[in-house]
Structure 1
């Protein structure tokens, strides 16, 4: 068994895809998901212990109040907070769909969604990335009783947006349940950061929205936004909620504070200004992302070349992270750059200068 582990690890090292934990204490941040800079915002969080799961001793007034205020803020009937986006997606999907149901999912959805699908035991098929026609083709041929369509509003490994309105209309046409993961758009898009479903006024037509607090909001945790019946169902049947220790009460309070921060629109404007500056001054065929996405993907398609470009940028003092297979498909290896409201134009200039030899 030990040799099997070592062989797999050595194979990763040989292919240049070996993962390891790094600590970056100094440098210019173009790699974190802290889009609005909340993670570096000073606060006086009292980290008293949670003591247990929410169904035992871990529930608190802070948690209950936060869920009510979050639901109201995002114009949802109810909400339920999990400890992370991963545990949420796994727990949500695995308890909703059974072997009698069908799940259709975008081929680029996050690993947490894929793991939830596996645990659900439902029949599942992917559709081509952001391809409405392929999704409709599969909806037409469905013979299952319940159909769930799983997408992200902004995809973290392409920097591309979903056509939310068209997909929502398709789901209504074929009586499918639409679940939208807004992990990378919540806080960064829409009035006061309410996300893309809210921006396009489909939030009340979606079966469930997933919002996370560890990215634009700079904290931890995630929430399901859905009906009261749906939330009661999750409390009773979602294993990753039931059997997980709650977060400290102060975290729930801080989530509420960050979500409702009065400066979010100002920070979003600053983020978009930085993105416009970057794309106005750097326009290369290798960029596959949308102009206004805080995630800018430079697709290289080769492990060694991707690593070389990443090191070249890192040597200029810019923290970045190359993305290799299996995180992305083979031949889609890339440099993933994340922009923030706090980045200065001078830092973006340095990044652009570091990318000038991208074709070498």
Structure 2
């Protein structure tokens, strides 16, 4: 039987992307050899997935918990006491008026941006915001979606002023403007200048119709007092309409919490389809998140946070130094990582903080990843469409259990690969083999 029209179109699309090296696909499950490799792929920033303390706390809690399986359905049908208790704790921990626990950060962003901006409102956003925010915005009733160049304060101010000038309701205070950013961006590890952005929003919209919304997914557990994020580190809790903290990265669980006020919580519970028609997180998840917060509040959390930032600082500094004399068209770091950095998070502007996300830019991302794998190091390539076509990279995610010795092993392998590519590039008559470089 011949292939259906649908199957033919799907197969053609898959094969085309595969030939271009742009096909995103599930990796093979880890092998026994992978278990011994040096892994720089996981977003388990604090290494809590392997934490003896978190394991002990969780097992103790499971033994006495009245329920550990399932949740019973949507929160609109059944609202377990454990879920509301965790929300109360998270609201207090993050210094927020209210909290809403959801099944995933993706669901939270889709629900919020689909429903909170009202008809005629305007959303100004960083061009690098997460796909889930884009999906939510596309479903929203907002009148305009206005992007600005990544982390560019000049471009943000220009976009905001043009919005005020072109929309009378904004100047009058009857039209709301949402500024949407991530505190830490997942591909470049760049950090938003939240304080300056918040100040600008207030200056340009003095009638209070400017609303800051921050996705803190990659900052949770890593920055700020007890890992409360960049917003808390800057003391901007009262300046944010909403913050998103996810549980699937530094907290080694699943789900997320949307921090806002009681009115927005009530509105989303009754309007947010991504929340209304989704089964609530199971009791096991609620227990694990509660235990992870215990760790963040303990000396163990502070120690893991310090270890992570120390290794991240070392790795970035050494990569920057060792890559300095290699042509940037072969390999380089993102612009942000060439700025001075320090692990003294209490005294520095946030844009100079070390980052646990370090991308190595190269058009030979697949080749570099394969080379590292042969050296017992796991680091995955990220290519178009996940990033722009000219920004292919190998993305490193540093965890608290990584050491300076492990960082040196990675750096040496990266430099060896780059030297080999440089030698081929310089000696080849046409350099066809490495045309992409």
Relative to the length of structure 2, the TM-score reads 0.79
> Can you list the C-alpha shifts for 1:239-275, whole angstroms capped at 9, x where unaligned?
1111100111231122122023112111110101211
2:418 matches 1:358: yes
* Alignment size in residue pairs: 356
Deviation at 1:236? 1.3
> Of 380, 387, 391, which residue of structure 2 is paired with 1:328?
387
DSSP 3-state at the match of 1:79:
strand
1:137 corresponding residue in structure 2: 158
Deviation at 1:133? 1.3
Q: CA–CA distance in 2 between the matches of 1:139 and 1:193?
A: 31
Contact kept, 8 Å, 1:81 with 1:221, in 2: the verdict is: yes
> Of 228, 235, 247, which residue of structure 2 is paired with 1:201?
235
Q: CA–CA distance in 2 between the matches of 1:72 and 1:257?
A: 15
2:46 corresponding residue in structure 1: 36
> Of 279, 284, 298, which residue of structure 1 is paired with 2:360?
298
2:308 corresponding residue in structure 1: 271
Deviation at 1:130? 0.4
Q: Structure 2: which 5+ runs fail to align? A: 1-5, 325-331, 342-353, 422-437
1:106 corresponding residue in structure 2: 126
Q: CA–CA distance in 2 between the matches of 1:184 and 1:307?
A: 25
Q: Structure 1: which 5+ runs fail to align? A: none
Over aligned residue pairs, what C-alpha RMSD do you find?
1.5
> Can you list the C-alpha shifts for 1:63-101, whole angstroms capped at 9, x where unaligned?
000000000001111100111111111111111123411
DSSP 3-state at the match of 1:322:
strand
Q: CA–CA distance in 1 between the matches of 2:252 and 2:315?
A: 23
1:287 corresponding residue in structure 2: 333
Q: CA–CA distance in 2 between the matches of 1:76 and 1:109?
A: 23
1:349 corresponding residue in structure 2: 408
After alignment, is 121-130 or 271-280 more displaced? 271-280
Contact kept, 8 Å, 2:313 with 2:355, in 1: the verdict is: no
> Of 368, 384, 397, which residue of structure 2 is paired with 1:309?
368
After alignment, is 117-126 or 318-327 more displaced? 117-126
1:66 corresponding residue in structure 2: 86
Q: Which has the higher relative contact order, 1 or 2, with Cα contacts under 8 A spaced 6 or more apart?
A: 1
1:125 corresponding residue in structure 2: 146
Contact kept, 8 Å, 2:73 with 2:279, in 1: the verdict is: yes
2:188 matches 1:182: no
> Can you list the C-alpha shifts for 1:198-223, whole angstroms capped at 9, x where unaligned?
00111111111111110011111111
2:263 matches 1:229: yes
> Of 150, 158, 162, which residue of structure 1 is paired with 2:192?
162
